[in-house]
Chain A
Amino acid sequence: MSMFRIFDVSGSAVSAQSQRLNTVASNLANADTVAGPDGKAYKARQVVFQTVLMGNAGSPDGAAGVRVSTVTEDQSAGRRIHDPKHPSADAEGYVTYSNVNTVEEMVNMISASRSYQNNIEVMNTARSLLLKTLQMGQG
C-alpha cells in the first residue's frame, strides 16, 4: 500500500525541518555572543537539505523524502564594535561579536515552522484517509 509511505516521506521532512528550527534557535541564542580568548566568535549555522528516494532498492517508487545532508558554517566576519571598556576587547579596543543576522534567522524560523505545519497536515490527511480505507465495505 503506497499510502503508508507518506508517513515516511512527511516524517523525514518534519524531522529535517525541526533540525532547521534547532539551528535557528542556536543561532538566535548566540546572536550576541562575543569572541572568547581565542578571538573566534560563534559562526551562524545553516542546514542543507537533500532529497532521499524511498522505496525498494533499485526501483524507487516516486516517494521522495528529505534529510539534512550537511550543516554549514557561515564564514563571513563577525560584527566588530568599538568598546574599549569591554573585558573581551582586543588591543585596538574592538569587540568581535558573532556573525548571526537576526532578521535572516527570524525569516528562516517562520519558513521552517510553516513547512513543518504543512507536513503535519499532510500526515493528518493521509491518516484519516487510511482509517477510512480500513472501514471499506463495512457500510
Chain B
Amino acid sequence: MIQRLTGSLVFQTEALVLRAERQRLIASNIANADTPGYVSRDFNFASALRDATSGRNAGSGDAARPRRAPELRYATPSQTNLDGNTVDMDRERAAFADNAVKYESTLRFINGSVRTMLDAMKSHNQG
C-alpha cells in the first residue's frame, strides 16, 4: 500500500537528482566559456531518466543501489572557434535557465505529493 503512495515520489526523486547533475554540468560549461580547447558536454535527460528508473521497481526502496552516471555527449559547435572551445554561451544560458525551471517544478511535484500524503494521513476530525 505504501509503495503505491511513494511510487511517484521515487520517480520524481530520480528526476531531481538528474536535474541537479545536469545543472552542475551546464555550470561547468559556463565556467569554461573562455578555456582554450574545452569541449562542451551535456546528456540526454529523457534517456538518462529512463535509464535510472527502468531496472528499479518504483518504491521498492533500494535507493542505496549505486547509480549509473548518465552518458555524457560532446556538443557540436554551431560556430567554430579558433582556440578549440565549443561552448556556445547562448545555448548554455538557455539550457541553464530551462533546467533551473524544471528543477523547481520537480521540487513542486515532490512537495505536492508529500502534501497529498500528509492530507491522507490526517483523520477526518482534524480538519
Q: Which residues of A contact B (CB under 8 A)?
A: 1-3, 5-6, 9-10, 12-13, 17, 20, 48-51, 61-66, 111-112, 115, 118-119, 122, 125-126, 129, 132-133, 136-139
Known: A66-B35, A118-B89, A129-B104. A9 touches B24 (CB 8 A): yes
**B interface bracket (residues with beta carbon within 8 Å of A):** 20 to 34
List of B residues within 8 angstroms of A1 by Cβ: 20
A14 to B111, CA, bound (A): 34
Q: Is the interface of A mostly helix, strand, loop or mixed?
A: helix
B58 at the interface (CB under 8 A from A): no
B52 at the interface (CB under 8 A from A): no
Known: A48-B36, A129-B100. A66 touches B31 (CB 8 A): yes
A132 to B28, CA, bound (A): 22
Query: B31 to A64, Cβ gap below 8 A?
Result: yes
Q: Which residues of B contact A (CB under 8 A)?
A: 17, 20-21, 23-25, 27-38, 41, 69, 72, 89, 93, 96-97, 100, 103-104, 107, 110-111, 114-115
Query: A10 to B31, Cβ gap below 8 A?
Result: yes
Query: B110 to A62, Cβ gap below 8 A?
Result: no
Query: B31 to A133, Cβ gap below 8 A?
Result: no
List of B residues within 8 angstroms of A62 by Cβ: 21, 24-25, 28, 41, 69, 72
A-B contact pairs, 10 of them (CB 8 A): A5-B24, A9-B28, A51-B35, A61-B69, A64-B28, A66-B34, A118-B89, A129-B107, A136-B114, A139-B115
